[in-house]
Amino acid sequence: MINLSSSVKEKIVNNHVENILTLQLIDVVNGTETVVDTITEENIVSESMTLKQSICDGDAFKYGGCIASEFDIQLLNTESKQFEQGSLTGKYLRAVLTQTYSNGWLYPSQSLYPSPNLYPGEQLDSVSIVLFFGKIDSAKRSESDKNIREITAYDPISFLFKKNIAEVVKDYLRANQPIIQLLVPPITHFTERITDVVTSDWSLCHLYGAALHNYEWMKSGGQINAGGFLRNCCELCCGFGYYRPSEDKIRLIHYNSGFLGEETYEKYESLFVEESKLKPFVGVLFPYGGKKISNQTVIETNKESKNAYYDCANNQVFELKTDTAAHSELTQAILKFHYYDLTDNFLAWDYSADSQADNFKIIESFATDFDDSDEHRIAHDTDFTPCRLTVEGRPWVEPGDTIKVKIPKTNIYGNYLDSNGNVVETYAEAQKEIFKTRVFNRTLTGIKALTDNIELKGEI
């Protein structure tokens, strides 16, 4: 959650006056930013902004994140300013929203003079929030109005998926460097604009300090992009990679993340809640087989990739075999458990299913971070309730935050009820139930009037 004091947030919610959106077009040369144009409301189509942010957008729950945010806006040509596709595409874009709110009533004073900060009977204050920073991907002319340009931009996470960092990672793997050491050089070395990776976020995880010993992923020709590598690291830490435009940093959203917050909504426009909740995982499915790294030498151990199952509660490993009837029956039973699937994460590959193998500490560390018996578990059933929610837009809310919605108790006719089941006249008198969930996907729309569509999917 973007850092604003509770008193400021309360004033914006209860005494909001106006929103003003400003866009900056930026050139970046050798890491240095230069603002080449500032676009104000005169050239922004009313209520045309859409900001999509996500850390888990699939139907099934999956750690990792690293999903680029998308920003859409419509720009209007005027006599004083014309927009061409060539002058927009490839430029960096920063969107800043300034929210003005009442900061109290005005009283007679000898030092009171006319000011832009005065509102009839009230004194105004404001706060500015960086909603988005990224690169413009397209600037198409609107089909319905030739004077409008439809802009789409993506944040710096998108850059990482275009960079092959195989050679950089290979050098670190051969040296048995901890995974945490692999995060920064590959990402910053191959991006045209350096984005800070806050490695201290990862240092709080059980995985911190673990090294890789399996070289199997190199058999595919060593094609691994920086975005995929970062996502795999985030997944093994039971967290989600996320670019925070307010800080211009890549952060790990994790149960220990100090920047996560909680927001309460008194009212909502619409709410659909699934009856099911996320069940705690009881095991981990992980791949093994391949090439072991020993003393910087690659040793062939098993050419065929296989899967094994780690039982969190009993600290046991079972190879998934079908060579005998007994093995096949055990494998089928295991696959019915509620396990977390790590088989597509190359960093989790072990060269054997032996619990004494070098890489196995990664599987143990991963399981420790989400195991139901761990006091810091992130897979807490009440935090992950699949839902679709529409509420007023609060730009300081971010993916990963916890939100609470107060739902008034009503009868079949829609009348408010108090705690004794009696009909009452007002919302304030009604008994409230608290619905709690996490923000996994959010779409913020509008400018003057902001609306948040929040969704947590779940085939769980």
357-388, pLDDT tens digit by residue?
666 667 777 776 655 444 444 444 445 677 88
**Angle, CA 411 vertex, CA 407 and CA 413 arms, to 5°:** 115
Residue predicted with more confidence, 436 or 110? 436
433-459, pLDDT tens digit by residue?
888 888 889 999 999 999 999 988 765
Listed in order, strand segments (DSSP E) in 380-450 are: 387-392, 402-408, 416-417, 423-424, 432-438, 441-445
Q: What pLDDT score was predicted for residue 231?
A: 87
Residue predicted with more confidence, 430 or 293? 430
Q: What pLDDT score was predicted for residue 69?
A: 94
Tell me the residue type at 129. Answer: I
pTM recorded for the entire structure: 0.83
Q: What pLDDT score was predicted for residue 380?
A: 40
C-beta separation of 407 from 387 below 8 A? no
2-53, pLDDT tens digit by residue?
888 888 888 888 888 889 999 999 988 776 788 999 999 999 999 999 999 9
Sequence ranges of the domains in the chain? 6-158, 283-370
Crossing angle between the packed helical segments 226-236 and 360-370, to the nearest 10 degrees:
60
Stated as kind and residue range, the H or E segment containing 25 is: strand 16-29
Site of tokens 């300090």: 209
For the chain, percent of residues with pLDDT exceeding 90: 20
Could you give the CA distance from residue 225 to residue 208 in angstroms, rounded to a whole number?
Answer: 22
What is the DSSP pairing of strand 423-424 with strand 416-417?
A: antiparallel
155-170, pLDDT tens digit by residue?
988 888 887 777 776 6
In the predicted model, is pLDDT for residue 326 greater than 60? yes
Residue predicted with more confidence, 109 or 432? 432
For the chain, percent of residues with pLDDT exceeding 70: 70
Sheet-wide strand order for 297-311: 316-319, 297-311, 283-294, 339-341
**Angle, CA 146 vertex, CA 140 and CA 148 arms, to 5°:** 60
